[in-house]
Chain A
Amino acid sequence: MKKRILALTLLVTAVLVLAACATPTAAPAPTTAAQPAQPTAAPQATAGEPYKVGFVTSITGPASSLGIPERDTALMIQDQVNKAGGIKGPDGKMHQMELIVEDDASDASKATLAAKKLVEQDNVAVLIGSSGSPASLAMVETATKNDTPMISMASASQIVNPIADRKWIFKTPQANQPVTAVQLDWLKANNITKVASIGVNNAFGKDSRDAMNEQFKAAGIEILADEVFQPGDKDFTAQLTKIKGLNPQAVIVHATPGEGAPLTVQYHTLGLTAPILHNHGIGNMDFINLAKDAANGVMFPIGKLLVANSLPDSDPQKAVLLKYIADYGAFTNGKAPSSFGGHAWDAVEIALAGLGSVGPDRAKLRDYFENNVKNFVGISGIFNWSPTDHVGIGKESLVLVRIKDGKWEFVPPDQYAAK
C-alpha cells in the first residue's frame, strides 16, 4: 500500500518537475523548477501598483496551435516591458505589467469561467482572449456585464457586431470578409468564373465559407461545390474526387495546417491541377514543413508578417514586423512566429498603450480604445478603431502570398488587384 502511494507520488513529482523545466518563462530561467512564486520585482522608489492584464487562450485542446504562440507572444512582451522597468502610467510612476494567463482548453464554458476569474477575482484592467470564436463569444457577456474592455484574438465578425451591443468588445484579427475580397480580386484578374470550395466544419471554416458564398455570388462567380470536412480528418479523397469531377477553374480551401497540409498533398496525389487558393489559416511554417512539394504554388491572402523581408522599406509595418520576428525567435529558441502570435502582439500592445495613457481604469481604457487607437502600427495591420469599427483593419492590411520552393513569396498587388 505504502509502496504504491510512494511510487505514484514519485512519478507525479518527476513528471511535473520535468514539465515545468520545459516551459518558457517570462522570468529568467529558475535554477530549480519547483519554487514558490516570488514577487516579480523589488518595488522601486517610484514604482506604482502593477498593471494587471488578463489573458485567456487555448493552450490545450483543438485550438492549441493558435493558443500557444499567442501565450508565448504575450509572455515575451511582459518580459520585455518589465525588463525595461515597466509601463509609465499617467501618474508618472513606473508600473510592472502583470500578465495572468488562463487556459480555456478550447472550450466555451471554461473560457467563461476563466474570464470571470480574471475580471472578478484578479481584477484585471483589460481582458484579452480567446483564441477561438465560440470561446470569445461566450466571454463577451462577462466582459460586458462587468464593464471590462475585452480584446478578442478570434476571427468571427459577430464578436464585435452588432456594435451597439458590443460597446466593450474589440478584436485584432482581420475579419474573413477582406480575406475573401483579396481572393476575389485574384479570381477576377484571372477571369475565373467557376470555383469549388472545401473547408473545415467549425467556426473558422464556417465564417470563411459564409464570406465566400456572399461575395462570390454577388460577383457572379459560380461555386460548383461547397464541401466540408471535420476537424481532425485525415482523408479528403471523397470531397476532392467530387470536386475533380466538376472541373472547377480554381479551388478555395478554408483550413489550418493540421488538415490543410494533408489535404493539399492529396489534392496533388489525386491529380487535380486547378490553382489552389487557401485562406489565412495556413499562414505558418508548419504548412510548408508538412505539405513539402505539394505546397508549391499554393496562394493565400494574409497579413504582412510572412513576407516582411520582401516589403518595401517605405512600408510602415516593416520595422515592427522584423522586430517581432527577431524577438519571438530569441524568446522561443528560434521558432518562426505565426499570424496567431501576431494577433496576440496587437492585442497586448494596444492594451499596454492604453494603460500607459489612461491607467488601469476600465471605462477610461475602453474610451481610449474606441477613440485613441489611430494609425496604430501592429503586426496584422495598421489599426484605426472607432465607435463604428472595433476591428479597425481591412483589406489594405492583407497581401497575397504564394509558396515557392518552401518559401513565402510576395505577389505584388498590381498582378491581381482590381483594375
Chain B
Amino acid sequence: MTPDQIFQLLIAGVTIGSIYALIALGFVVIYNVTGVINLAQGEFAMLGALIAITLTSETPLFHRAFVVNLNLPLIIAIALATLLVMGVGALMYLIVIRWARTDSVIIQIIITIGISIALRGIALIAWGTDPFRLSEFSEGPPIQIGNAVLTRQDLWVIGSAFVLMLLLYLFFQRTFIGVSLRACAVNRVAARLMGINVSHMMLLAFALSAGIGALAGIVIAPKTFMGYDTGTYLGLKGFVAAIAIGGLSDERGAIIGGLLLGVLEILAAGLISSGYKDAIAFLVLIAVLFVQTTGILQRGAKREAAGV
C-alpha cells in the first residue's frame, strides 16, 4: 500500500472509531453512576435514529398501517428524538431497574439483555426490517485531504464524539450534579448520607445515557443507515470500546478505545486480511488488556510467588 492509501485508511479508521466511541460514551455514563453494564445501549442509538428519520421524512410504520409525514426540520427532529429516547431510558429505570434489587453484575446484564430483545422486537414491528437513511447534516461534495477523502458527515461524527466526550468530562468533573452522580458510583451509602438522592441520580444517569445513545445513533445514521437490528452490532462494538481502555468508567478511555478499535479494524482489513479483520482487532485488544492490567498481573504473580 502507498502512504496515500494508508492515510486514507487512517482517516476512515478515525471515523468508524468515532462511531464506536459515541456508543461507548453511553455505556460509561450509566456504568459510572449505577454500576450497571447496559447492553441495551445500542438499541437507544437505533431508536434515536429511527425516530429522527420518522420525524424528518415520510415513513411508513406498523406494516404501513400509518404513514408519518411530518417533515420536521432536522434540528427539531433531533431534539424531539433525543428527548423521546431519554424518556425510554428513564422508563427503563423506573419500571425495571429500580425494582431489580440485586448486586450481581450478571443478573443486571441479563435484565438489560431482556430489555434490548424486547426493544428490538418492538422496533421490528414498528419499522419493519428495511434499513432507513437520514439525510446528511450538511450537503456538499466529499472533502479532499491530499489524495484521501472524507465526507462532511464524517466530520460531524468525529466532531460529535470529541465534543460529547469533552462535555461529559467537564460535567462529571466540574459541576455539582456531575460530582454527585459520580459520588453515587463510588459509595452509594456515603452519597446518601451527604444528602444526595441516589434514586434521582440514577434516573438522571439512565436518561442522560439514553440521550447520548440517541444522539450517537442520529449522527451516524446518514453514514451507516439504520435498521431495527443495527443497534445490536453497534452495542457490541461500543461495549468492547468502552471496556478496552477505560474499563467502562472513563470518558476519555471510551474515546481512545473506540478510535483504537476502529483504526485496528481498518488497518487489519487493508493491510492483512479483510476476512480476519475483526479477529485481528480483537487479538490486539486482548493484548492491550493484558498490558493495561499489568498491575493485576504483577499482584497475581506475587501471589503465585508466595506459593499459594
User: Interface of A with B (CB < 8 Å)?
Assistant: 4, 7-8, 11, 15, 19, 21-24, 60-62, 64-65, 68, 201, 227-230, 232, 234-235, 237-239, 241-242, 244-245, 257-258, 261-262, 269-271, 286, 289-290, 292, 332-335
Contacts and interface: CB of A to CB of B under 8 A. Distances in A.
A332 B64 contact: yes
A242 B5 contact: yes
Nearest to A10: B95
Interface string B70-101: 00000000000000000000000001100100
B128 interface: yes
Interface in B55-76: 60, 62-65
Contacts of B225: 234, 258, 261-262, 290
Interface of B: 1-2, 5, 8-9, 11-12, 15-16, 19, 60, 62-65, 95-96, 99, 118, 121-122, 124-126, 128-133, 142, 149, 151, 220, 223-225, 227, 229-230, 233, 265-270, 274-275, 277-278
A269 B142 contact: yes
A186 B286 CA distance: 47
A11 B95 CA distance: 9
Contacts of A201: 275
A64 B274 contact: no
Given A64-B229, A286-B131, A238 B124 contact: no
Contact of A64 (B16, B118, B124, B132): B124
A262 B278 CA distance: 19
A234 B95 contact: no
A14 B305 CA distance: 59
Given A269-B142, A334-B60, 8 more contacts: A22-B125, A61-B229, A64-B124, A241-B5, A241-B270, A242-B270, A245-B5, A332-B63
Contacts of A335: 60, 64
B63 A22 contact: yes
A271 B125 CA distance: 38
Nearest to B19: A234
A286 B2 CA distance: 36
A333 B64 contact: yes
Given A65-B129, A237-B12, A286-B130, A23 B274 contact: no
16 contacts: A23-B125, A65-B130, A68-B128, A228-B274, A228-B275, A230-B277, A234-B225, A235-B224, A237-B266, A238-B269, A241-B270, A245-B1, A245-B2, A258-B131, A332-B63, A332-B64
Contacts of B8: 237, 241, 270
Contacts of A269: 142, 149, 151
A162 to B, nearest CB: 28
Contacts of B130: 65, 257, 286, 289
B129 A242 contact: no
A333 B60 contact: yes
A292 to B, nearest CB: 7
B95 A8 contact: yes
A15 B121 CA distance: 10
Contacts, number: 123
Contacts of A24: 63
A187 to B, nearest CB: 23
A68 B129 contact: yes
Given A19-B121, A229-B274, A234-B223, A241 B131 contact: no
A238 to B, nearest CB: 4
A411 B126 CA distance: 36
Nearest to A237: B12
B64 A258 contact: no
Nearest to A7: B95
Given A7-B95, A235-B266, A242-B270, A64 B129 contact: yes
Nearest to A61: B229
A406 to B, nearest CB: 13
A4 B99 contact: yes
Contacts of A228: 274-275
Given A68-B129, A290-B131, A333-B60, A238 B266 contact: yes
B131 A22 contact: no
Given A234-B224, A245-B1, A15 B9 contact: no
Contacts of B230: 232
A89 B133 CA distance: 48
B24 to A, nearest CB: 16
Nearest to B63: A24
Given A237-B12, A241-B5, A258-B131, A60 B64 contact: no
A336 B65 CA distance: 15
A242 B118 contact: no
A19 B62 CA distance: 9
A7 B99 CA distance: 11
A60 B64 CA distance: 19
Given A242-B1, A290-B225, A237 B131 contact: no
A178 B121 CA distance: 37
A227 B274 contact: yes
Contacts of B278: 230
A245 B142 CA distance: 19
